[in-house]
Amino acid sequence: MGDKGVILLNAIIILLTMAVIGASLMTFYFAVDIFARAVASGTKAFYLAEAGIARGVNYLKLEANKLYSQKTTIGPLSLGEGEYEVEIDFIHSLIVSKGRVGGMEKTLQLQFDTL
């Protein structure tokens, strides 16, 4: 009878150890998943901000023959899973673009030369 009790105790210890390892792996997986989603949202927000810079440069090319003495805001405009907003400051020759995706925001600035 004593050997059966030892075998049962060993089996319970092994199962509990495997359960703890499994729970640890699941926790690690969820942490990595959350981190990966945050990185992906940040990357998307960056590219949305880049799209806004491109939109601002295009706006300047199309409107180059007019004189400006103020700021112009374009957007917010939706693109894919997020949106971007562009501000063109003619006084400081600056384009500021903000891209947003799922609570993540990235801001890019472009200084331009006036002719």
Pick 3 or 114 by higher pLDDT.
3
pLDDT at 61: 74
Its pTM stands at 0.62
Contact between residue 65 and residue 98 where contact means Cβ atoms under 8 Å apart = no
Q: What value does the mean pLDDT of the chain take?
A: 85
Pick 94 or 1 by higher pLDDT.
94
Query: What is the per-residue pLDDT across 63-108, written as a single tens digit (0 to 9) for each?
Result: 765 656 677 888 888 888 889 999 888 878 888 999 999 888 989 8
